[in-house]
Amino acid sequence: MNSTPRAILTLLAIFSGIGSASAQRESEPLKLQSLNFDMWCQETQKLPPARCDRRSPADDAAFQTFSNKLETYEIENMRVQTRNDEINREIVHYDPVGRPTEFSVPQTDRPDRGN
């Protein structure tokens, strides 16, 4: 197999933007983007289209190995993104004092004289 870490990272970068990881919860299944054999064969492996159309058992096994590695990276990336979104929402942007619902009148040391 002629896959390089750069190819894995490139595909990971492409697929990381697909599907909103921030909307997912632990109880929901992860929505992974499926990888297409023909695109992998021609674009990543740079094999001729005729060979990709034959889909030999060796090429299919190499594709499955690559797909499994990519899925592992994609799942981890989605989990990290989900956790970062939770931290951002629950800790960084949670400020009940910073956005009061009612504005108060400034207080002074002088008593109100009923003017």
User: What pLDDT band is residue 17 in, cutting at 50, 70 and 90?
Assistant: very low
Is the model's pLDDT at 3 over the cut of 70? no
Q: How far does the chain reach from its first CA to its final CA, in angstroms?
A: 88
Q: What percent of the chain has pLDDT over 90?
A: 40
Domains of the chain by residue range: 5-92
pLDDT (0 to 100) of residue 86 = 87
Angle between helices 5-16 and 57-87 (to 10 degrees): 50
Instruction: Count how many residues are written for the chain.
Output: 115
Q: What is the pLDDT of residues 43-80, one digit of tens each?
A: 999 999 999 999 999 999 999 999 999 999 999 999 99
pLDDT (0 to 100) of residue 113 = 67
